[in-house]
Each structure stands twice: as structure tokens, then as C-alpha cells.
């Protein structure tokens, strides 16, 4: 059974699930180079098919993560009359006006790529939050009963949903509309701080540890919904939503952001960020903990953009109320394509085993032959190094900054060792160096440590496997001054634990670095500069390398250096 998941909207993406296994998943932004691209995921669909040697006529189902009609699918897949998506009222009105007044319609030109399907192919719609729930449950690795919670800004009219998942089925327990949107509240604070609603929430979280919510506690009370006992007790009217199309990506706005900006001007940026984080954690606890008790389970799976907040996830983990916590790592809307495809598969195969995720290397890869051809065409000087982990580890031990481009690109928002910028975590100033010289972003922004799975108990309090940088942990006191570049202001880490069987080359790199320095940890940041998507293609890697302060670029076994460095 071959199911193609297609998400069109904020963070457009495509994913391919074959017999219940995720074999490809990629966001369109990686091809278009527009962060959070919201147009048709044409390149993503093409990649998913080509990576498995398939055409659309091989696809049994297209899974779409919305309950509403998506007219763009009619063009995208050359649908027959029987297969076509219904036209919206707005589209019918536009067509009428075009006939009467000759107003132009949005119609794709003939050179836009489409993917003709077989007459037997079916389109299946999966409600937005059910797709999020499916991405969490069907990657949790167990059929055991668990609570599933999905939270975001809003999708298909809902912002917060609670589900029971058991024996292959997902059952809704509570669904709350936009008046329950803690995501909307947190994003309003983000916009008021001057950052993109739907992108900059991680910055708000990163700024929060520098503030003291006790100095401003309660000043945001009128801007968010209140919860108690697992239910909403004070819905919040956010007012009229607005959006702005910025080069193919949507930016959102509520007028309350203006009011919150005034509070920021009065009380200080870091204190308002700290209060927003406190509110998010405390109100989410009022949703999740009562439902865990009601369902008599300690197993929790989560998805939706709220759960990209690693400090929130840490609080839940450290509450003592959860024995197994699984956060789908591609928790935002780019993960909807995977969730919709998995939901369709398990709807039809409810007794199938539920797999766990070991890695997210589901995007494009490039052979040594392809990489070398690209380097030669650009007349670049390079070296081929046989033992690349040992070579790169030596550079990192010398405090060089190394871009690391290997294998299949990661899906989701985190660089996990295949499209990464790396530096030693052993010097505190390295955080500032990377922010200023490479990423060109705010000085307070923290970085993540990649560390050997075998060493996790050396560095983390209440350690567990954390493959995807989706939960933070308190750093052990004795290690805080050993790896200061990746320890946050509140003494936490957002780690990635690496198992050798999941990424042998990256594991070997960190192991070699540990042998040289005594610390089996590297500072790991995504291979991009601020405002751009993570690099996908070698051409993008080369462009980024020469446009920032990186010292070395390692692609496969090929090494480039700047004139100021020595090969």
C-alpha cells in the first residue's frame, strides 16, 4: 500500500508511506528557499516519488491533512471529474466575475508540473488535528493505551485536542476551538517582541530564561484562555485574524500584539518572554495532567506546533506524571503530510504493528560523484579525505567551525547531524562566535549539544533517549563549565543523543572528538543562516559556506576551506 501525504499551506510538505513505513518526508521550503513556504509542494512530491522509483500511477491514496476541499489538487494530480475536489464558494464567485467582468483567475500555466494519477487512486481527507495525533501515536512504537494531545494555533477550527489511542485506533476525547489557543497567545507575544508569528516562537522560548516572571506575573492574564481540570474555563476571544503573504509564506497577526508590545516597552522584553513561557507551561499542565489521571495512563504522545517548545516538554517529563513521553519531532505543520498518510494506512490496517522512529533522515541525498562534479564545475579547490570523522574531529578540537553535509537530509526543523554546523562546546565564547559570525542572529540564542547515547547520563539529569532535540534537560552541575557553549542560561540542555546504529559517521565524529578533548559533545546548529531554510543541495551548502564565517565545509568525504584556513 503506497500512500502519498500532501500538505498545502503553512510549511507545505509531502511524505510517502509504504506499507506503514515512512520512506520519504520533505518540506517544500528546502527546494524553494522560502522559509515556511505555503505554495504547492511540487518539488517535494517529485522527490518522494523519485526517491522510491515510483510515479503517481503507483500511488493508491493521496492523504490530505484537512477536512476541507483543496481545489489545487485538481490541477496537481490531473484529477478526473469523479475524483475532483469541490469548488469553494469563493472560487465559484471568482469564476462568475471573470466571465462577467473579465477579471483574471489564478490558473497555473502549462509548464507548471502536474502528476497524473490512476483512475483508481483515491483522495482521503484527514482532519488537521487528527493528522497531528496520527503523527504522534503511529510513531510511538507501541500499541499500548496512551493519551495523545495535539496543540497549535488553529487548524480546521480547532486549537487543542485530547485523544485516547489504543490498539491501533485514535478516539477523540475533547476538541477545543480557537478560543482555547495557547498557541495563538504565545505567537501574539512573539509578534509583539518583533518576531514572525509562526516562526519566531523558539526565540521567545530562548529569551525567557534571561527574564524573571515574578516581576511581571499576571500582566498577560487578559490575553490567554484559562484551563482547569482538563477543560477550558475561560475561553479567550482573540478577535479578527489577519495574514500577510510574504514571498509565498504566510505571516499571521492579531491586534492584541499591539497591546502586548506596550507591556514589553513598559516591563522589558525578557520578563514578558519569561511570563509567556510560565503561562504556557502552567496552562498546558492544566490540560494534560487531569486527562492522564482520567484515562489512568502514564503514556503520553504529543504533536502540533506547541510541542516544539522544549522547555514545556521538559516540565511535563519532570512532573513525575509520565513514564513514556513521545513527541513527534516534526511537530509543526510540515509534519501533517506524514500524519495524514499514517492515519489512512492504519484506518485500513488497524492491527498493523506501530513502529518507533529511530531517525528522521528522510530527505534527498547526493552521491560522491554528484558532489565532486558540482565542485569541479565551480573550479573549487578541495581535498578527498578517507577517514573524514577523524579529520573533522581534529579541526573541531582546534576550535574551527565546520559545516557537516552528509547522507539524507533530515525532515523537520532540527539539524540532526546530516545538515549541521558544528563547533566545540568546550568554550563559552563559541556560542557568541557562531551567533555573530555564522548565523547572524541574536546573541542570546542558544545551541544544542549532540552527544553519544552512551554518555547521556554523564551530562543530563533524569536522562532518557532523546534522538531529536525535542525536549530539554537539566545539565549535570559538574559538566556545566565543561561544555558551556551549549548550556542555557537556566542550566538546561536541548540534546540529541546519537546511537551508532542510527548515524555511524556522526557517532564516529563525536567519538573521535571525545578522544581528543575528553568531552563527547559537539555544539550542533542547523546548516543555514538566520531567516533561511536548512540547506538541502550541495549548491546551497557551497553558497552558505562562502556567505558566512564558516572555516570548513565537509560534504561526504570532500573538504573545502577558506583562504584563512589551511587544508
pLDDT tens digit sequence for 220-234: 999 999 999 999 999
The alpha-helical segments, DSSP class H, found in 172-233 are 182-192, 201-207
Instruction: Note the pLDDT of residue 234.
Output: 98
Closest CA to 187 of 170, 204, 174, 173: 204
Instruction: Note the pLDDT of residue 564.
Output: 56
pLDDT tens digit sequence for 31-60: 999 999 999 999 999 999 999 999 999 999
Domains of the chain: 2-128 (3.30.420), 140-327 (3.30.420.40), 368-561 (3.90.870.20)
How is 46-85 classified by DSSP, letter by letter? Answer: HHHHHHTT--GGG-SEEEES-SS--THHHHHTT--TTTPP
Max Cα-Cα span within the chain: 75
Instruction: Note the pLDDT of residue 348.
Output: 97
Closest CA to 406 of 393, 415, 396, 397: 415
d(CA 499, CA 509): 12
Supply the mean pLDDT for the chain: 96
Residues 6+ apart with CB under 8 A from 516: 393, 394, 397
Instruction: Note the pLDDT of residue 91.
Output: 72
Which regions of the chain are under pLDDT 50? 567
Instruction: Note the pLDDT of residue 565.
Output: 53
What are the counts of helices (DSSP H) followed by strands (DSSP E) for the chain?
A: 17, 24
> Angle, to 10 degrees, between the axis of helix 310-318 and the axis of helix 269-294?
40
Tell me, letter by letter, the H, E, C secondary structure of 238-281.
Answer: CCCCEEEEECCEEEEECCHHHHHHHHHHHHCHHHHHHHHHHHHH
Global pTM value: 0.96
Closest CA to 487 of 515, 441, 530, 519: 519
Instruction: Note the pLDDT of residue 519.
Output: 98
Instruction: Note the pLDDT of residue 80.
Output: 85
Cell numbers linked to 502: 542510527
Q: Are 171 and 196 in contact (CB under 8 A)?
A: no
Amino acid at each position: 500500500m503506497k500512500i502519498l501525504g500532501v500538505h498545502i499551506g503553512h510549511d507545505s510538505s509531502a511524505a510517502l508511506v509504504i506499507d506503514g513505513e515512512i520512506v520519504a518526508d520533505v518540506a517544500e521550503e528546502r527546494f524553494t528557499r522560502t522559509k515556511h513556504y505555503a505554495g504547492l509542494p511540487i518539488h517535494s512530491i517529485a522527490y518522494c516519488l523519485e526517491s522510491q522509483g515510483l510515479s503517481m500511477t503507483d500511488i493508491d491514496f493521496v492523504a490530505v491533512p484537512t477536512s476541507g476541499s483543496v481545489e489545487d489538487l485538481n490541477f496537481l494530480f490531473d484529477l478526473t471529474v469523479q475524483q475532483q475536489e469541490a469548488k469553494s464558494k469563493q472560487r465559484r464567485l471568482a469564476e462568475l466575475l471573470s466571465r462577467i467582468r473579465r477579471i483574471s483567475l489564478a490558473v497555473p500555466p502549462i509548464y507548471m508540473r502536474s502528476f497524473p494519477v490512476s483512475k483508481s487512486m483515491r483522495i482521503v481527507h484527514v482532519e488537521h488535528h487528527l493528522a497531528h495525533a496520527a503523527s504522534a501515536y503511529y510513531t510511538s512504537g507501541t500499541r499500548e493505551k496512551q493519551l495523545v494531545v495535539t496543540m497549535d494555533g488553529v487548524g480546521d477550527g480547532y486549537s487543542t485536542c485530547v485523544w485516547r489511542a489504543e490498539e491501533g485506533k485514535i478516539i477523540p476525547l475533547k476538541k477545543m476551538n480557537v478560543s482555547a489557543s495557547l498557541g495563538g497567545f504565545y505567537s501574539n507575544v512573539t509578534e509583539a517582541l518583533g518576531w514572525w508569528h509562526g516562526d519566531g516562537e523558539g526565540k521567545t522560548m530562548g529569551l525567557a530564561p534571561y527574564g524573571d516572571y515574578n516581576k511581571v506575573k499576571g500582566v498577560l492574564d487578559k490575553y490567554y484562555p484559562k484551563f482547569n481540570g482538563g477543560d477550558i474555563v475561560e475561553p479567550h476571544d482573540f478577535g479578527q485574524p489577519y495574514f500577510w503573504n510574504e514571498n509565498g509564506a504566510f505571516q499571521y497577526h492579531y491586534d492584541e500584539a499591539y497591546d502586548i508590545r506596550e507591556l514589553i516597552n513598559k516591563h522589558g522584553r525578557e520578563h514578558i518572554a519569561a511570563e509567556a513561557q510560565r503561562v504556557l507551561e502552567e496552562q498546558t499542565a492544566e490540560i494534560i495532567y487531569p486527562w492522564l489521571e482520567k484515562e489512568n495512563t502514564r503514556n503520553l504522545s504529543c504533536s502540533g506546533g506547541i510541542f516544539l517548545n522544549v522547555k514545556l516538554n521538559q516540565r511535563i517529563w519532570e512532573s513525575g506524571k509520565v513514564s513514556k513521553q513521545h513527541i513527534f519531532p516534526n511537530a509543526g505543520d510540515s509534519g501533517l503530510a506524514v500524519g495524514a498518510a499514517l492515519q489512512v494506512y492504519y484506518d485500513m490496517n488497524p492491527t498493523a504493528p506501530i513502529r518507533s522512529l529511530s531517525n528522521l533522515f528522510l530527505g534527498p541525498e547526493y552521491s560522491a560523484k554528484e558532489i565532486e562534479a558540482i565542485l569541479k564545475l565551480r573550479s573549487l579547490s578541495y581535498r578527498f579525505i578517507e577517514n573524514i570523522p577523524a579529520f573533522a574531529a581534529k579541526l573541531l578540537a582546534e576550535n574551527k567551525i565546520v559545516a557537516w553535509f552528509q547522507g539524507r537530509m533530515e525532515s523537520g526543523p532540527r539539524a540532526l547531524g546530516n545538515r549541521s554546523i558544528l563547533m566545540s562546546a568546550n568554550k563559552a565564547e563559541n556560542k557568541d562566535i557562531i551567533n555573530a559570525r555564522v548565523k547572524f542572529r541574536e546573541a542570546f540564542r542558544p545551541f544544542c549539544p549532540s552527544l553519544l547515547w552512551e554518555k547521556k547520563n554523564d551530562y543530563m539529569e533524569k536522562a532518557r533517549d532523546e534522538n531529536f532535540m525535542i525536549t530539554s534537560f537539566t545539565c549535570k552541575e559538574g559538566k556545566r563549565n565543561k561544555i558551556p557553549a551549549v548550556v542555557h542560561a537556566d542550566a538546561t540542555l536541548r540534546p540529541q543523543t546519537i546511537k551508532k546504529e542510527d548515524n555511524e559517521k556522526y557517532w564516529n565524529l563525536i567519538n573521535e572528538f571525545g578522544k581528543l578533548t575528553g568531552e563527547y559533545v559537539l555544539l550542533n546548529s542547523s546548516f543555514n543562516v538566520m531567516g533561511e531554510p536548512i540547506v538541502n543541495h550541495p549548491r546551497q551548502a557551497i553558497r552558505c559556506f562562502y556567505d558566512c564565517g564558516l572555516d570548513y565545509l565537509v560534504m561526504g568525504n570532500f573538504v573545502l576551506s577558506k583562504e584563512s584556513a589551511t587544508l
